Structure 1
Amino acid sequence: MTQPNSILFVTGRLAAPALEPIVREIGERNQIATEVAVLGINVAALMHVDWVARKLEVPDHVQQVILPGWCQGDLEKLSKKWDVPVLRGPKDLRDLPRWFDKRDQEPPDLSKYDIEILAEINGAPLLKTEELLRLATSYAERGANFIDYGCLPGPVASQVGEHIRELRQAGFRVSIDSFDQQEVEAAVEAGAELILSANSSNLDWITKLETEVVAIPDDFQNLDTFDPILERLEKSGVPYRLDPILEPVGFGFAASLARYYETRRRWPNAEMMMGVGNITELAEVDSAGVNFILAALCQELGIRSVLTTEVINWARESVKEFDLARRMTHYAITEKQLPKHINAGLLSLRDPRVHQLTEEELYELTHQIRDPNYRIFANDDALHLINRDGHFQGNDPFQLFLEAAELGEITPSHAFYLGYELAQAETAKRLGKQYSQDEPLNWGHLTRSEKHLSLKPTFRKSPDSNTSNNSSDIE
């Protein structure tokens, strides 16, 4: 019996028995009317909007239609045809309850953060102004709040003042990373707002500059050596941030973490900074997870600024990674939620979930396809290449291509297309990522739009069909 204002879930014959109890549970839990429409197709993954428009009748009492996640085409066509909202659900019906609960929710607000990022340009005096500004712009676009001008040991760099004036005129906030008096004084005169770093060796002249400093202990192993430094800074009215110094793994890393905790205990209201590059740059491991853990530590300890850099190749995205991490940890802590299902931007090698067709679904799909266009799927056990001529499966994409080529003509553009897609499928299989034909792999915040449709062969009419739409060839 239908009810007014019902939500209609559309599926194929094969998935209907599994979908119906899920939809019933959704209706009961949310106290809404639900219906399931089973269309004349075995495998829902083969649906196309144009085919659905011809085959589905939507009753007047339906207020929303939800199609399978694999359904291809422009949903706006269906919304206009039936004058109801049409949504594409998840690609795996097992995700439907979670997707349904969140379909109308705004995503978590990750606009807020309270940790500043100082992005260091190493060897800055050696760079031309154009390159300096290019790097600063890149850092700022990926989340940096300060551009840290990193000087070099040795002779005084005479171009410090000029460089920093250029950075300031371009709108960047700048810190100066040097112990040389002439370099620091030139930087401050040119507009630098923060000096890295101050200890007893340079307090005599640094306090006269009346500029905020990052204070470090004279002896990294002994926080008591902070006391005389802070006493002089406070007496001079110079603002400061405390940095007990994060040590690399194998050189006192755990003990240095304990010093950050102890520094916060001793000076509960002091501003603090952490130089995270000693871990991200000096440990041969992908930096995203490292940056998240360090951001979480900073968030919980109230460390409100970090110094990072992007010198080594595996840390080349550290600024953006820390930007995402500081937003996620801020949200998790302020909202008292686990940092899970908030944002997948830091998941690059793995995907949050991977859904694959079952053997039964692949079998049904193989026997339903009647056109020459290839469908590609990646499962844990094998790659699958399917069209009307057969079901080719295996772990060697080159072998799959050769087997397919033996049974049917493949044009050069089609060969290129299949090679590209099989390479993506193989990559997804190897890394444990979701592969969806004609869609880019998800690399988290590194994902880029891949518009190669100009090389994608269009659906061709099969000899025994009067239509070029693949879904109509499989009923």
Structure 2
Amino acid sequence: MKQERILFVTGRLAEYSLRQVLDKLAPQVEFEYEICVLNVQVAALMHVPLIKRRLTVPEGIDWVMLPGLCKGDLQVLTEHFGLPFKRGPKDHFDLPEYFGQEGKPPKDLTQFDIEILAEINHAPFLSDAEILQQAEHYRQNGADLIDVGCVPGESWKRAGEVVRMLVEAGHRVSIDSFDRKEVEAAVKNGAELVLSCNHSNLDWVSKLGAEVVAIPDLPSDFDSLHDIVDQLVCAKTPFRIDPILEPIGYGFTASLERYYRARKEFPDVEIMMGIGNLTELTEVDTAGMNVLLAALCQELQIHSVLATEVINWAQSAIKEFDHARRLVKYAIDNQSLPKHIDYQLVMLRDPKLKELGAEALLNLSQQIRDPNYRIFAEQNQLHVMNRDGYWKGTDPYELFDQFQAANPKELDASHAFYLGYEMCKAMTALTLGKQYQQDQPLNWGFLTQTEISAQERRRQEGEEPQCGPR
């Protein structure tokens, strides 16, 4: 069977490394290829009118792939040349993934089984505006229910009023308090869940008509749950149970065993886990913990968690758990490892690095004929190159002095700022093991912030780009 023949369009500086990629990729995917190098150095600067003017398509080509950053309507090219044009990935090193995934349906991560209760901690100390803002932030990040956290030992007269305010704003609400006046007012105004219920308040909280979270009298006293559950069943009070997750150093492993025991001894009862006792009280990034906790909940059919974002290292915990609950459900439902499914929780380091290599970097440096600086982060070094030279090292200050000395009149203030900003990103990438690509944001998973590249800014301002990647 005849293999399809693809024309890859690129700029002069990317030809060498693109050919290296395609030499390996084409036999694996079973296509033939040709490369057309237009008379531009940087492939990212291509646009549809330029391609229409300069491109000549050889005979026998089935379709044409353009650089992913190419601007303009590709339908114009399709109509002009009479064959399909497609954008590839932004980086040609991603071509293997592009061809490997093409035609496969995306992973469905819309499904989840675990409800997120997001707590507004110490709500009595906040203004109404702050409470509404925090609740909306949690909802936008995946929370299904807003938990109003009260202050132990105090009685808040506005508990009912604030609950009503949240309900009128479209939120589902729970109340976290043992104070009878606070709880009764909250339930009267629309709170659907009460955290929590044990023998200390069982006599009155079971009569409010709202669902309650049953907890043991002491975390270690699991047997007390049986009596509390029996009384809630007799009172026909809806409930879920929480055996209490303990912090590391205070019975963490024993508390995990209690959840396993709870599922065995209460096979048909809903269970909740308060995960903040781990994420807030462990001095470590929380994304990995949230995945493990979500996996534990998914496997034990724990269908709700109470999450918090009080301490700074846990400030994205709600969104992390939202991604985690979808990831683990997909993995378990499909009997698939939670790997190569979704990279949104890989934030500190990147899943893999794509490097040109020493030979390609040297080859590239010898082809450059313009003053624009190209920056790379590879082999534990920064690499900076333009027509005046090729500099590499680990100290950005020394590199700056070196390439500035090669042409001291070339750098104005804005250009120097740009290079400093890019080298800062490159050093961060080297430090953390992340992929650096000039003029592109570093990948921080779901926390990635979009950037307008220096080239795009200059195009928007009607100026010629002065700095650019390969």
Task: Check whether TM > 0.5.
Answer: yes
In structure 1, the residue corresponding to 2:206 is in which secondary structure?
helix
In structure 1, the residue corresponding to 2:287 is in which secondary structure?
helix
1:176-202 Cα distance to aligned partner (Å, 9 max, x none): 000111110010001100000011111
CA contact (8 A) 2:9 2:37 kept: no
CA contact (8 A) 2:7 2:36 kept: no
Q: How much does 1:396 deviate?
A: 1.2
What TM-score do you get using the length of structure 2 for normalisation?
0.89
CA contact (8 A) 1:394 1:400 kept: yes
In structure 2, the residue corresponding to 1:385 is in which secondary structure?
strand
Q: How much does 1:208 deviate?
A: 0.9
2:257 matches 1:254? no
Q: How much does 1:362 deviate?
A: 0.8
CA contact (8 A) 1:8 1:64 kept: yes
Amino acid at match of 1:174: V
Alignment match, 1:352: 351
Q: How much does 1:175 deviate?
A: 0.3
C-alpha distance 213-47 of structure 1, shift in aligned 2 (>3 A): closer
Alignment match, 1:19: 22
Alignment match, 1:398: 397
1:312-332 Cα distance to aligned partner (Å, 9 max, x none): 000001000001101111111
Q: Which moved more, 1:8-17 or 1:276-285?
A: 8-17
Alignment match, 2:116: 117
Q: How much does 1:295 deviate?
A: 0.6
Alignment match, 1:324: 323
C-alpha distance 44-407 of structure 1, shift in aligned 2 (>3 A): closer
Q: Which moved more, 1:84-93 or 1:243-252?
A: 84-93
C-alpha distance 238-372 of structure 1, shift in aligned 2 (>3 A): same
CA contact (8 A) 1:44 1:68 kept: no
Amino acid at match of 2:46: V
CA contact (8 A) 1:417 1:455 kept: no
CA contact (8 A) 1:23 1:36 kept: yes
Q: Which moved more, 1:210-219 or 1:268-277?
A: 210-219
Alignment match, 2:431: 430
Q: How much does 1:406 deviate?
A: 1.6
Q: Which moved more, 1:221-230 or 1:115-124?
A: 221-230
CA contact (8 A) 2:372 2:466 kept: no
How does 1:89-168 map onto structure 2 within 5 Å? 89=89, 91=91, 93=93, 96-168=95-167
In structure 1, the residue corresponding to 2:246 is in which secondary structure?
coil
Alignment match, 1:442: 443
C-alpha distance 161-369 of structure 1, shift in aligned 2 (>3 A): same
Amino acid at match of 1:36: Y
CA contact (8 A) 1:48 1:72 kept: yes
* Distance in 1 of aligned mates of 2:41 and 2:24: 17
Q: Which moved more, 1:170-179 or 1:410-419?
A: 410-419
2:226 matches 1:227? yes
C-alpha distance 133-13 of structure 1, shift in aligned 2 (>3 A): closer
2:422 matches 1:417? no
Alignment match, 1:464: none
How does 1:268-287 map onto structure 2 within 5 Å? 268-287=267-286
* Distance in 2 of aligned mates of 1:108 and 1:196: 36
Alignment match, 1:31: none
1:221-246 Cα distance to aligned partner (Å, 9 max, x none): 23221111011100111111110000
CA contact (8 A) 1:42 1:364 kept: no
* Distance in 2 of aligned mates of 1:75 and 1:286: 43
In structure 1, the residue corresponding to 2:117 is in which secondary structure?
strand
Alignment match, 1:85: 85
What TM-score do you get using the length of structure 1 for normalisation?
0.88
C-alpha distance 18-131 of structure 1, shift in aligned 2 (>3 A): closer
How does 1:290-305 map onto structure 2 within 5 Å? 290-305=289-304
1:438-467 Cα distance to aligned partner (Å, 9 max, x none): 111111111111225389667xxxxxxxx9
* Distance in 2 of aligned mates of 1:452 and 1:46: 14
* Distance in 1 of aligned mates of 2:20 and 2:4: 24
* Distance in 2 of aligned mates of 1:44 and 1:453: 16
CA contact (8 A) 2:70 2:87 kept: no
* Distance in 2 of aligned mates of 1:177 and 1:231: 22
CA contact (8 A) 2:67 2:88 kept: yes
* Distance in 2 of aligned mates of 1:132 and 1:13: 56
Alignment match, 2:452: 451
In structure 2, the residue corresponding to 1:225 is in which secondary structure?
helix
* Distance in 2 of aligned mates of 1:286 and 1:444: 14
1:247-295 Cα distance to aligned partner (Å, 9 max, x none): 0001111111111011001111110000000000000000111111101
1:47-98 Cα distance to aligned partner (Å, 9 max, x none): 75357666653346433323566x76558365555341323147355x5444
In structure 2, the residue corresponding to 1:62 is in which secondary structure?
coil
In structure 2, the residue corresponding to 1:451 is in which secondary structure?
coil
* Distance in 2 of aligned mates of 1:6 and 1:155: 75
CA contact (8 A) 2:174 2:195 kept: yes
In structure 2, the residue corresponding to 1:144 is in which secondary structure?
coil
1:6-36 Cα distance to aligned partner (Å, 9 max, x none): 4445673565366334302211xxxxxx222
In structure 1, the residue corresponding to 2:350 is in which secondary structure?
coil
CA contact (8 A) 1:417 1:456 kept: no
* Distance in 1 of aligned mates of 2:351 and 2:40: 25
C-alpha distance 13-321 of structure 1, shift in aligned 2 (>3 A): closer
2:182 matches 1:183? yes
1:116-144 Cα distance to aligned partner (Å, 9 max, x none): 10000111112111111011011111011
Q: How much does 1:217 deviate?
A: 1.3
1:299-354 Cα distance to aligned partner (Å, 9 max, x none): 11100000011110000010000011011111111122111121111111111121
* Distance in 1 of aligned mates of 2:337 and 2:174: 34
* Distance in 2 of aligned mates of 1:193 and 1:47: 54
* Distance in 2 of aligned mates of 1:341 and 1:393: 33
CA contact (8 A) 1:15 1:44 kept: no
CA contact (8 A) 1:9 1:35 kept: no
How does 1:191-206 map onto structure 2 within 5 Å? 191-206=190-205
